[in-house]
C-alpha cells in the first residue's frame, strides 16, 4: 500500500452472508460474549467486502483507499447506495496511534486492527478471523483485550498478538499464509 492512510468503505454483513453460505462459521462461537451478528456489527476494522461492486467515479482509489480529502465525495456516494446502512466508512492508517494534532479533523480513534491490507481485493484481519472467529485458543485469548469496536486499544497488545501468531505459525499451526503482518490505526467519522 503506497498510501500511509486513506478512506475505506467496507461491508461486514456481506462477510457474514458469505461465511454462512460457505459454512466458514458453522459451529464457531465468537470469542467475545455476544452473538455472531452482534460481533460483526461491533467490529469496525478493515475486513469485509471493500467498496461496492460497481464503478463509483467518485474518487480515485489507490490500492483500495481513497484520499482523505475525498471524504465528502465518498460519504455522499455511500449514502446514495440502496444498502447504505450496511456500509461503514473508516480511515485506515499505518501511522500508529494518532495524536490530536495529527488526526484529521472530524475523525476519532477507534483502535488498532492487525493483519495485512494490500488492496480492496487482498486483505485479512487477524482480529476478525483468528481472534474473534478463530479456532486457536492462544489467539482467542486476545478477545479479552478488545474494546467496544472489537479492536485492540494499545500498540503493545497488537505487538503481543503478532508475536503469538508468529509463534503459532512457526509451530505449523493452520493459519492464513501471510508475508507480513502490520498494525493499523482505525479512525471513525465523528
Question: What DSSP state is assigned to residue 64?
Answer: T
The SS3 of residue 143 is helix
Distance CA 157, CA 110 (A): 15
Q: How many residues would you count in the chain?
A: 190
Looking at residue 99, its pLDDT comes to 43
Helix (H, G, I), strand (E, B) or coil at 107: strand
> Among 114, 8, 123, which residue's Cα sits nearest to residue 68?
8
pTM across the whole model: 0.89
3-state class percentages of the chain: helix first, strand second, coil last, to nearest 5: 35, 25, 45
Domain ranges of the chain: 5-189
pLDDT by residue, tens only, the chain of 190 residues: 456 889 999 998 888 888 889 988 778 899 999 999 999 999 999 999 999 865 555 457 888 899 999 999 999 999 998 889 999 999 999 864 454 435 678 899 999 999 999 888 899 999 999 999 999 999 999 999 999 999 999 999 999 999 999 999 888 887 777 778 999 999 999 9
The cell numbers describing 3, all together, are 498510501
Amino acid at each position: 500500500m503506497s498510501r500511509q492512510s486513506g478512506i475505506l468503505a467496507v461491508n461486514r454483513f456481506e462477510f457474514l452472508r458469505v461465511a454462512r453460505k460457505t459454512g466458514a462459521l458453522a459451529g464457531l462461537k465468537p470469542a467475545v460474549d455476544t452473538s455472531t451478528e452482534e460481533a460483526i456489527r461491533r467490529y469496525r476494522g478493515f475486513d469485509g467486502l471493500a467498496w461496492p461492486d460497481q464503478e463509483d467515479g467518485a474518487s480515485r482509489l489507490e490500492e483500495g483507499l481513497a484520499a482523505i480529502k475525498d471524504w465528502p465525495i465518498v460519504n455522499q456516494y455511500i449514502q446514495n447506495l440502496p444498502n447504505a446502512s450496511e456500509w461503514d466508512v473508516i480511515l485506515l492508517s499505518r501511522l500508529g496511534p494518532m495524536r490530536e494534532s495529527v488526526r484529521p479533523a472530524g475523525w476519532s480513534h477507534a483502535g488498532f486492527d492487525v493483519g495485512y491490507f494490500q488492496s480492496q481485493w487482498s486483505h485479512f484481519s487477524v482480529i476478525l478471523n483468528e481472534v474473534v472467529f478463530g479456532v486457536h485458543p492462544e489467539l482467542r485469548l486476545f478477545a479479552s483485550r478488545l474494546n467496544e469496536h472489537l479492536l485492540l486499544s494499545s500498540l503493545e497488545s497488537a505487538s503481543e498478538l503478532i508475536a503469538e501468531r508468529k509463534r503459532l505459525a512457526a509451530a505449523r499451526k493452520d493459519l492464513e499464509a501471510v508475508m507480513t503482518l502490520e498494525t493499523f490505526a482505525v479512525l471513525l467519522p465523528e
